[in-house]
Amino acid sequence: VTGASFVVFNGALKTSSGFLAKSSIVEDGLMVQVTPETMERLRQALRDKKDFKITCGKADAEGLKEYVDICWVENEEKTNKG
């Protein structure tokens, strides 16, 4: 679990890169690079206020993957107040 001051979603990742998505820490935030198709699905999920999971890593890699979970919560007391 990583806490971040901000999140940047970049929808310019090319399918030919071989990655499902990439995540990296930038200063005190998180940058998530996704394909245009994933970006469109993410935007729709945000509009609909639905949870969304992004799987990061090589498309052909087996085993451990990283995930970026966007979760809507009803009780904000348990979220980061910073």
What is the pLDDT, as a whole number, of residue 74? 80
pLDDT of 77 reads 66
Indicate whether 36 belongs to any domain: yes
Within a domain: 80: no
Bridge partner list, 68: 54
The pLDDT value given to residue 2? 63
**pTM (predicted TM-score):** 0.80
Whether 44 maps to a domain, the answer reads yes
Residue 28's domain comprises 6-70
- pLDDT, one tens digit per residue, over 10-52 is 999 998 999 999 999 988 899 999 999 999 999 999 999 999 9
Q: What CATH number does residue 54 fall under?
A: 3.30.1360.220
Is 58 part of a structural domain of the chain?
A: yes
Instruction: Indicate whether 54 belongs to any domain.
Output: yes
Could you tell me if residue 82 is inside a domain? no
Q: What is the pLDDT of residue 32?
A: 96
Structural domain count of the chain: 1
